Amino acid sequence: MILQSPRPVTLIGGAPVARADLDAALALAPVVAAADGGADTALQFGLMPQAVWGDFDSISDRARAAIPPGNLHPVAEQDSTDFEKCLSRLRTPFVVALGFAGGRHDHFLSALGVIARRVGPPCLLVAGEDVITRAPARLALDLAPGTRVSLFPMGAATGRSQGLRWPIDGLAFAPDGRSGTSNQATGPVTLACEGPMLLILPRAELATLARAL
């Protein structure tokens, strides 16, 4: 089942979710969906997910009973993670993902790989103090001077920049080579990236990043 929404979607996973992060996500993405056990988290916050996907190995019986059967969509195949199952079935302007970090590191790393492969719509992954997305081919960000801007390659990548303290023009990035962590904005930033590059900003810039995308 595909969930089509003209409004952005907040996707909730099974790792811990902070109320403040959820409120910030819902302000930008008011439609709620969940990955497997993330349905329990949604219900705990008084939210009814419009769709739940996954292999359903962690959703509780209580959540199954509380959610309308038409909103539950088990996906039996094991060649993809629950996060990927969800993103591949969403048709929406963008997704804010919560509850996919802070638990198991292998799950978190897998989520980063899914974002790097551009599965589904643009995804903003909230993780601790950060918000992470795949840098599109071109992006303009209205950032205050001193804002942390980190770039982490998930494959061979290059880029150009304006407004960074340390420009990236002409640099070759790779997971086992150069990365661009802890750069700083000198004001508004323009990025042009080629290859799978993750952009990592402070969590406080979630709305700024959503507007830019």
Measured at the CA of 117, the angle between CA 111 and CA 121, to 5 degrees, comes to: 85
Domains in the chain: ranges and CATH:
3-128 (3.40.50.10240), 138-212 (2.60.120.320)
The number of CA neighbours under 13 Å toward the Cβ of 150 is 14
Of 172, 179, 121, which Cα lies nearest the Cα of 149?
179
Mean pLDDT (the chain) is: 95
> Backbone phi, then psi, for 88, in 5-degree steps?
-70, -10
For residue range 10-69, what is the model confidence (pLDDT) as tens digits? 999 999 999 999 999 999 999 999 999 999 999 999 999 999 999 898 999 999 999 999
Q: 196 pLDDT exceeds 90?
A: yes
| Pairing mode, strands 180-194 and 123-127 | unpaired
pTM, two decimal places? 0.95
